[in-house]
Structure 1
Amino acid sequence: MDENRVSVPADPGGAMLFVFSMEVISFWAVYLDVFSEGTYLVLGCLMLAVYPVYLIGAFIYYKRNDAYMGNCYFIFGSLFGGIFGLIYIALHFGFLFGWDMNISILAIPMFWGSLAVFALLKPMLKGPVIPLVVYGIAAIWLFTYGLELLSVGSLIIFTVNKYLSLIVGVGTAYLFVNDLLLSAGDRGLPMGPLLGH
């Protein structure tokens, strides 16, 4: 038996990107304003439901001695699992009971998340172009989402965020399909030319 194969867990990248992509597309769907206020409760529950998946994925990456991806998914899990999961549930009850809620403070975790993703981009400069572009757009989306929470350039930023969330959702869907194919021994999808060569 191959001891290294037993001691090193498999790469959970496809599953982790699936969760993130599904959440971002859900954000995009909320931007369309076709759902009732009860959607916030369901979306909050969805985010809390996948929060453990982010944490498990991060721990698996740490077990694989991959602090880069472990940190990435702890950050995504904090933002899109714990923080926004609880906030969307609170928003639902706020609407229901007429609470005076000011969520502009959430701009801070979005700005910090944007900063973290921008930092994560630097090592990607040596890899293929498509993941770099998708994560780059995700970093911009987090930043502009922070601006939206502060009501900066409201209508313009709202429109920009609607399309950025769609691009990030579709882009990360492309990446998770690629990772799932690779995990099955397939050659995967085209990722564009390698950078830094």
Structure 2
Amino acid sequence: MGGNNFAQFMVVGPTCFFLGILFAGLPYDYNVLWTAPPEGRDTYFKILEDHIQFLYASPAVISRILNIVIGTGLLGFLVKLFKASESNMLFDGASLVLYMAGITVYLTNIVKGFRVVTAGIYGDLDAAAAVGEKIELQDGEDFISREDTLRVYAASNTILALVLVGVLVLQAGQWYAKRAEEKEIEQIEKQEGEKKAAGKKKQ
């Protein structure tokens, strides 16, 4: 029981960690996606660009810590799914699918957004080819405009946050179901004990 609780902590901890990162970036994403100021969004696009470039230029230890946290979550799922019951398989299996979907969004949209914004090659295939080796992009890859790139990046953060919230909801549902099952078992055992005690008194 204790090992399973620790494995659940290994899943919930990284999930909350990533949600915290996404929440810290919400002020940048919110103005790009959901506001329409009279003066236009150019100022907010520039702020988001600077933010992305700063993150991409962060020390290598930052990305390593991020990879370690991602791996911790995956390890937690593997521990929980090892000899899992049918109910655990349902909750943890669905949670793992959402977690992997989040990793896919991160790798395909967010990481690519980092590279494109940092290189400043919005929609310019010639520029992309010129710096392809520097940012490890494939020649001929299709790039969208600056505005669309930044909006896709912000939307991907929102999608990732919703996916991670789904993981937390499933883990909370699993915990609630486990607690309800334990209480039901305790109640049944208590009733059986009372019946045995009553039977002994009659004898």
TM-score by length of 1: 0.42
**Bigger radius of gyration among the two:** 2
Give the structure with the larger helix fraction. Answer: 2
TM-score by length of 2: 0.41
